[in-house]
Amino acid sequence: MTVPAAETTHELLVTVGVDTHLDSHVAVAVVNLVRRLGEVHIPTTETGYAELLRWATKLGRLEAVGVEGAGSFGEGLACFLKAKGVEVLEVGRPKRRDQHRCGKSDPIDAELAARAVLAGTAIGQAKGSEGTVEMIRVLRAARRSAVKARAHAAKQLKAILITAPENLRRELRGLSTIKLVRKTVRFRPGERLDDVEAATKFALRSIARRYLELSKEIAELDEQLERLVTETAPALVAVSGVGIDTAATLLVAAGQNPRRLKSEAAFAHLCGVAPIPASSGKVVRRRLNRQGNRDANRALHVVATERMSREERTRAYVARRTEEGNSKREIIRCLKRYIARELYKALVSSMPADAAFSVP
């Protein structure tokens, strides 16, 4: 730990930047974009977080902490500091041009994080990871992996069938996935495998059992997700075209504190559906935003396509824009922007206001 000079007083307005890692964090304190006060290395434990807070408050009045990776390695630190009433801002990774100019190390990255907070270029308030939204996030992660594993099991089942003995291929040919699973799970190859056909039946039965077990796991996760999402954001689920999975995706993207997004335009940028100005000189135009949360972007795309097929108001809009010469892809882009505006209001109205997460 670097101790500041004796002239440091508690009148200083201190900003701290943190470069986060799995087992340890590096923090650097700066003041007024000019002077670096010191640095500290802490373990990723509650004791380490408390040590960082004590160190920063001894330097002066702690204004804010910029955390790189506040939603991953720095999540524990961000939660601890917010619980102590400290303003925590999420900071993006340093740009390459900055790394070329001043090098690359953990203290350098931490100092750049602090200077990003002072310069006003931080991403914004760190996303809240407490409460029901965090519960939804971890359940969705488990469900996503289970769905992928089940799809892989189905592919493997059909791949083994391609090279199976002729008797098995003839018996199982043309069956849908679920019928194939139900038939192969009833195979009785015996305890001793004496030929290829018996071994193939044993393998097919093993994969079919795995498929059914994963289906049961997915159903249990769906039940929990439906209950949590419905209780957390009833206004969001009530919006036309929004299902449980879509609502869960948007809740996770916005976090427990959607009011950290200061407007519906900020939410649209988060979802990657806000056109980006790309004008120069007399040329005034906008380009497609390919950044943002792609999972949330996919959720808005699902809502848009659902409304295009079922909602009369949306069908009329599509017909009018088609007559104006817009392509289907362009129309969907416009729809996603309008839908983001509507869903942001539903998100904010669903989540209770929390003073700890209010926008400063």
The per-residue pLDDT for 4 is 46
Average pLDDT over residues 278-296: 80
pLDDT tens profile 95-123 = 666 555 666 888 888 888 888 888 887 77
pLDDT at 231 over 90: yes
Share of the chain above pLDDT 70, in %: 91
Kindly state the DSSP code that residue 194 receives in the 8-state scheme.
-
Q: What is the average pLDDT value for the chain, to the nearest integer? A: 87
Average pLDDT over residues 143-164: 95
- Flag whether the pTM goes above 0.75: yes
d(CA 251, CA 256): 7
The tally of CA atoms less than 13 A away on the side-chain side of residue 287 is: 6
pLDDT tens profile 233-246 = 999 999 999 999 99
pLDDT at 218 over 90: yes
pLDDT at 313 over 60: yes
- CB neighbour list of residue 170: distance below 8 Å, 6 or more residues apart: none
Angle between helices 328-350 and 294-310 (to 10 degrees): 110
pLDDT tens profile 34-82 = 688 889 999 999 999 999 999 999 988 898 999 988 878 888 898 899 8
- CB neighbour list of residue 48: distance below 8 Å, 6 or more residues apart: 24, 25, 42
The per-residue pLDDT for 7 is 45
295 versus 36: the higher-pLDDT residue is 295
d(CA 27, CA 95): 19
155 versus 131: the higher-pLDDT residue is 155
Highest mean pLDDT among 114-128, 265-279, 329-343: 329-343
Domain boundaries, the chain: 13-125, 132-232, 235-352
pLDDT at 5 over 70: no
Residue 128's pLDDT band (boundaries 50, 70, 90)?
low
pLDDT at 168 over 80: yes
pLDDT at 21 over 70: yes
Kindly state the DSSP code that residue 21 receives in the 8-state scheme.
-
The tally of CA atoms less than 13 A away on the side-chain side of residue 219 is: 6
Residue 138's pLDDT band (boundaries 50, 70, 90)?
very high
Average pLDDT over residues 288-300: 89
pLDDT at 13 over 60: yes
**Assigned superfamily of 13-125:** ATPase, nucleotide binding domain (3.30.420.40)
Q: How far is CA 281 from CA 275, 284, 285, in A?
A: 19, 8, 11
The per-residue pLDDT for 249 is 95
Q: How many angstroms separate the first and last alpha carbons of the chain?
A: 31
The per-residue pLDDT for 125 is 76
pLDDT at 6 over 50: no
